[in-house]
Amino acid sequence: MIDFKRYVNSKDEVILYVGNPDLKRLEELSLGFGDIWHSSFEQGYKNIFPEIAYQTATFFWYVTDLDNQDLCVSWRINPNMFAVRETTWNILGGFDNDYKNPVMQALDFGFNAVRTSGAVCLYAKNLYSEEKRDNIKISTLDRYTFFIKNFKKDHSLFMIYRKGIYKINEWRAYFRAKKEFKIFKKKPIIQCKELKNIEGNPSVSYIIPTMLRQDFTLNLLNDLAAQTYPPTQVVVVDATPENQRVENIYTEKKFPFELIVKWQTTKGSCRARNEAITFCTGDYIVFGDDDIRVPSNYIENHIRFLQTYNADACNGLDIRADHQKQTLVDLEEKLKNYGERRYISGLAPHLNNANNCVKKKYVDLLVGNDVNYDGGYGEDNDFGFSLVKAGVTVLQNPYSTNLHLKPPMGGYRFWGSQAKIIGKKRKKQPWELDHPVKWIRPIPSPTMMYYYYKNFGSVLVNEYRHKYFFLYLFKGKKSTFIFRVLNLPYRIIQFNKSVFYAKNLLKLGKRVQ
């Protein structure tokens, strides 16, 4: 049992802590969006337990700790020096005593707080001034206990493969952990705060990139016109070809906001968003797809959420429609049946360009989207992770919801639809640069591979490669195993092709036009 001390902040909230934090700094932090705080980087905890990569090498923004940040997300808690809201500690149930090592107890607590329970765990420089380097040791048994309790057994088996299938102690630890423990699927949840009313009169710019979906865009404009807190301006960048567009479709009706329509002559949704950003004057920018419907409190709840949490960026709740004819009535029904995780907040696991809100100064700091992603996938996740690396904590906002219609035709994927075609009928994609794809289609998507290299580096991409082929061989049906073995050389060629294109994009570096 931890011998906590108690600090009551200026809002009468109890903060539990161990060690000797700077209480003035703790007061400041406790008034923000965090739930757990530590200064573990200076105490030898930065990037400990690198084996987490065996489960999530390139699919978790916080798989490795961030550099050059005074305040950033890190689940690697020092058990001897940390602070936590008393309510958070009680809801999450404290440390798991199945681990004998307090270091592993703290890591399990921090990881699950961030990954599944909706808590925000932050490294805060100078909260603790001590730079004592702990002698950190994690046993093989604790390592497998963590994997068995948190992930499917495939990840433990993959860890054995990466550590060395000939190592008896790895197998012993795996079987012992598997015998004594089971995966704990139902994790406690930190419910969101009740939203405060909007303070001041912040202005909002809304960006809609669209192509061959003018009727869907018009429906979205009508939704925005009905907002309880309407945007100041809406910027539509429309790439519909001239011979297929209705020129005056957006100007036939008068809207309660400044409407800017730009006909796009360049290609790609990243370029479209970047062109729109240049027109934006709002304090906040909301990014949306052209095929969504939004309820009347959508904009208001984005601003209320960010002000309530004193945060700078959030990802809304994107609900997939069953078909493109569904309406906001259907959205209400879907939300009623969403379950207990409906109002989980915490850290956004990704960024979705269909529904997010960011303070304009941070959008300007990034100078827009990376156009290397045009024609492919991954641009929104890259933009979100770029915000994180710039010091912005992106939160999940369950209050601003949208219904994503996903019609089968139109949209910017029209330009990328050539990706599955090979041979002479294929039209070159932007990411192909001077090396058009011929008869071997690169898999996975080269732009996703670019995202992995750009944001996680070659070491974690190597782990992704191993995991990719491990799952390819052993995750499918037993009846098709021989086919997968025979097809493996070709699949490796496809993977290497994807790496080739990704590295060509890396050489170019981020581009915004």
Same-domain check for residues 90 and 145: yes
Asked if 358 contacts 387 with a C-beta cutoff of 8 angstroms, the reply is yes
| pLDDT-based confidence at residue 412 (cuts at 50, 70, 90) | low
Distance (Å, whole) CA 418 – CA 24: 57
Instruction: Answer yes or no: is pLDDT of 297 > 80.
Output: yes
Instruction: Answer yes or no: is pLDDT of 310 > 90.
Output: yes
Same-domain check for residues 125 and 43: yes
Domain membership of residue 117 (yes or no) is yes
Which CATH number belongs to the domain containing residue 266 in this structure? Answer: 3.90.550.10
Same-domain check for residues 323 and 392: yes
Instruction: Answer yes or no: is pLDDT of 246 > 80.
Output: yes
pLDDT at 80: 93
Instruction: Answer yes or no: is pLDDT of 495 > 80.
Output: yes
pLDDT at 208: 96
Roughly what angle, to the nearest 10 degrees, separates helices 102-115 and 140-150?
Answer: 20
Same-domain check for residues 334 and 448: no
304 vs 431, more confident: 304
Q: Which two tokens stand for residue 223?
A: 């939704």
Helix (H) and strand (E) counts in the chain: 16, 14
User: For the segment 205-242, what is each residue's pLDDT rounded down to a tens digit?
Assistant: 999 999 999 999 999 999 999 999 999 999 999 999 88
Q: Which two tokens stand for residue 359?
A: 């303070």
Q: Torsion angle, CA of 283/287/292/297, rounded to 10 degrees?
A: -20
Mean pLDDT computed over 492-510: 95
The 3-state secondary structure of 85-112 reads EHHHHHHHCCCCCCCCCHHHHHHHHHHH
**The domain containing residue 23 runs over which residues?**
5-180
Buried b (16+ CB within 10 A) or exposed e, 439-475: eeebbbbbbbbbbbbbbbeeebbebbbebbebeeeee
CA 11 to chain centre: 31
pLDDT at 43: 92
Alpha-carbon dihedral sign for residues 219, 220, 226, 232: negative
The residues that bridge with 355 in the sheet, in sequence order, are 288
Distance (Å, whole) CA 455 – CA 457: 6
Domain membership of residue 409 (yes or no) is no
Same-domain check for residues 361 and 442: no
Q: Return the half-sphere exposure (C-beta side, CA atoms, 13 A cut-off) of residue 210.
A: 29
Distance (Å, whole) CA 162 – CA 506: 27
pLDDT at 342: 87
- Number of domains within the chain: 3
- Give the H/E segment covering residue 356: strand 355-359
Domain membership of residue 27 (yes or no) is yes
Same-domain check for residues 308 and 383: yes
The CA-CA-CA angle for residues 290, 389, 201, to 5°, reads 55
| pLDDT-based confidence at residue 428 (cuts at 50, 70, 90) | confident
pLDDT at 187: 87
Domain membership of residue 309 (yes or no) is yes
Percent of the residues in the chain that have a pLDDT greater than 90, as a whole number: 79
Question: Locate tokens 């920018």: which residue?
Answer: 285
User: For the segment 343-364, what is each residue's pLDDT rounded down to a tens digit?
Assistant: 999 999 999 999 999 999 999 9
Residue type, 500: F
Q: Where are the alpha helices (DSSP H) in 280-326?
A: 298-309
To the question of pTM greater than 0.95 for the whole model, the response is: no
| pLDDT-based confidence at residue 268 (cuts at 50, 70, 90) | confident
Mean pLDDT computed over 455-463: 95
Same-domain check for residues 352 and 498: no
Buried b (16+ CB within 10 A) or exposed e, 418-431: bbeeeeeebeebbb
Q: Which two tokens stand for residue 142?
A: 């604790």
Instruction: Answer yes or no: is pLDDT of 185 > 90.
Output: no
Same-domain check for residues 300 and 334: yes
Mean pLDDT computed over 56-76: 94
Examine the fold and report which residue of 180, 214, 233 is the final residue of a domain before the chain moves on.
180
Q: Which two tokens stand for residue 512?
A: 């915004």
pLDDT at 260: 96
Domain membership of residue 411 (yes or no) is no
Percent of the residues in the chain that have a pLDDT greater than 70, as a whole number: 97
pLDDT at 427: 76
User: For the segment 88-120, what is each residue's pLDDT rounded down to a tens digit?
Assistant: 999 999 999 999 899 999 999 999 999 999 999
Mean pLDDT over all residues of the chain? 92
Distance (Å, whole) CA 173 – CA 147: 11
Same-domain check for residues 162 and 228: no
Domain membership of residue 333 (yes or no) is yes
Q: Where are the alpha helices (DSSP H) in 100-232?
A: 102-115, 140-150, 153-163, 168-180, 214-225
User: For the segment 28-56, what is each residue's pLDDT rounded down to a tens digit?
Assistant: 999 999 999 999 999 999 999 999 999 99
Same-domain check for residues 110 and 148: yes
Same-domain check for residues 399 and 454: no
Instruction: Answer yes or no: is pLDDT of 84 > 90.
Output: yes
pLDDT at 329: 95
Domain membership of residue 147 (yes or no) is yes
- Give the H/E segment covering residue 73: strand 71-73
Domain membership of residue 46 (yes or no) is yes
Examine the fold and report which residue of 377, 404, 431 is the final residue of a domain before the chain moves on.
404
Alpha-carbon dihedral sign for residues 109, 113, 116, 122: negative
Burial class (CB in 10 A: 0-12, 13-18, 19+), 185: exposed
Same-domain check for residues 393 and 461: no
| pLDDT-based confidence at residue 415 (cuts at 50, 70, 90) | low
pLDDT at 411: 66
Question: Locate tokens 């011929």: which residue?
Answer: 438
Phi, psi of 293 (to 5 degrees): -120, 140
